[in-house]
Structure 1
Amino acid sequence: MAVYRQVQTNFWQDDFILELTPEERYFYIYVMTNPRTTQCGIFKIVKKLIEVELGFDRKTVDKLLKRFMDYGKISYCERTNEIMIINWVKYNFIDSKNTKLCINKELKEVKNKEFIRTIYKICLERKYDIEFIFKDIDLDPINNEGEAKVIPLKTDSEDIKSRSASSRLENSTKEDNKGLLDSFEAPYKPLGEEEIYINKSYNKQKVMNKSISRVLLEFSKNIKKASKAEIEKFIQWRKDFEEEVIIKAIEQAVKYKAKHIGYIESIIKSWAAEGITTMKELMKKFDRTKPRVNFDAYRYVD
């Protein structure tokens, strides 16, 4: 257990933090710095303890946990009472033997196997020493019944074949879904949402989608293929906001690695609360939130 956790001073100028409520900022700092945090970013904590240490009731704790899960910042497992700070190991990893030994030891105590596999994927993408970090660690995920299920890791050649097959399937899916997304060429990974087919009321749908075509393009390129529910949100937002404003919200989600419709919606709602609906109004806000430098403080004095 570490005595301290490092939080950079520019935390308070971060665009994601600026959009949070004071309550959310307090909770986020707590998640990153409470005494049970670990080097791997996964730790066990019961909700009752969060209530006591933060002074919140259970309803507020549940609300904040769900909100930050929607933001894509944490995952929380009710079954094991474990929290995973999703990008912790990405931004706090130190390539030293002691750090890797510490992470290896901590991961062996983690009950939620899906959390372990998520950390594994991040380490693999960032070319960390996975053989050392995950030595003697079971990487089998847990299914809904709580039983272990073996999923062997793919070799490079198998992975290339898998991606090729996925690409062929993706191309055939695009051909089948002419209409709404026929002009979008960006790749996406199917995440289980209901596929969108425009067989009924085509002309009416075409008119509605015309006002959000660029929004859908940006969402498809940078996040994923939009589900039916997400498209309906975009259409609803377009009634009150300029298209560029919605696109800017998507860019913020990508910039701060919170690629989730929940985070985009939180940005849109916060701007609406400030009466911001146009790009001109939004740019004024950004100008106000830029850090100012007191040049007089740096003036040379004899």
Structure 2
Amino acid sequence: MAFRIVYTEFWNDPKVMEDMTPEDKYFYLYLLTNPCTNMIGIYRIVKKQMAFDLGYSIESINSLMTRFINTHKLVVYNDETKEICIKNYGKYNLNKGGKPMIDCIKKDLGNVVDKTLIKEISTNVKNASIKQLIEEYLSAINNVSLDDTYTNQNEINNDTYNLPNKKINFEEMAQSVCFDDTLSISGQNHNPITNNHNPKSIILNPITNNNESFVVVDEKDIINIYAHFQKCGFIGSAKLKEFIDADIKVFGADWMMEAASECVKRGKINNYGYLSGILQNWQTKGRDECRARTKNDNVVKPLRFNNFEPREYDYDSLEKQLLGWDK
């Protein structure tokens, strides 16, 4: 069962003692300890649930949230993603490291949809290793980084990922989708929508027919991919759009979306280099073989005794013997 620590110092805090009403204190304790909380103090909770748990009306919850956001300045709430961030959470709860703690923090960071909330908690973290972890994560989500998943490092162009990374939201990415008929025929007229960008996935041989690349791109596929990448925690940017638009013509929509989901499972959020490595390994080694190998890593190998048939017992007879009824 999960638990959350609340220090007795909570009641001696000047802001709590002087600025908060009894209702505020009760609400703050709820935000710190409710079942939706996690290890980093950024979690998803809807106002209806707050009202139900506390027995308040929605109007009362809205009033409390306004006070905590604008007056006390203790929380930030994203109405779109329904995520709340407790600014001072790291001051008291992120002060002990260790691998289990780090693993939990990494998992919770990956589940945050509004990544801007992460910066709110990092300023109050005292533990050096945890603070460094959060800062490195913030740095990573703003840059598409290469990962060692790709097995043929000699073919990687170091300038491949050095593209302008102007942030755009996924809605803008979807609205900018505009393909002509040349993208649905053979690749003699294939010109990826890039700026001096040759994605490393293009190095490998795509599906061909008579030495011509098949380029089958549907506008709906691109829009679905953008939506799926957003769901998987990727940050919308001009750079990400460049990579997706180019790589979908090589690997197809299904592979792209499945690779994004695989990144989430492996904790590689917003890491397109890792995703690209997965795609290329699937292309060179076979997707089914790679997935089977990953799945079998967690399967316990049978013992040598498993090759023998188990002995069969007559349990009724055994019961009679144990009770002494067979005499």
Report the structure number with the largest CA radius of gyration: 2
Give the TM-score normalised by structure 2: 0.40
Give the TM-score normalised by structure 1: 0.43
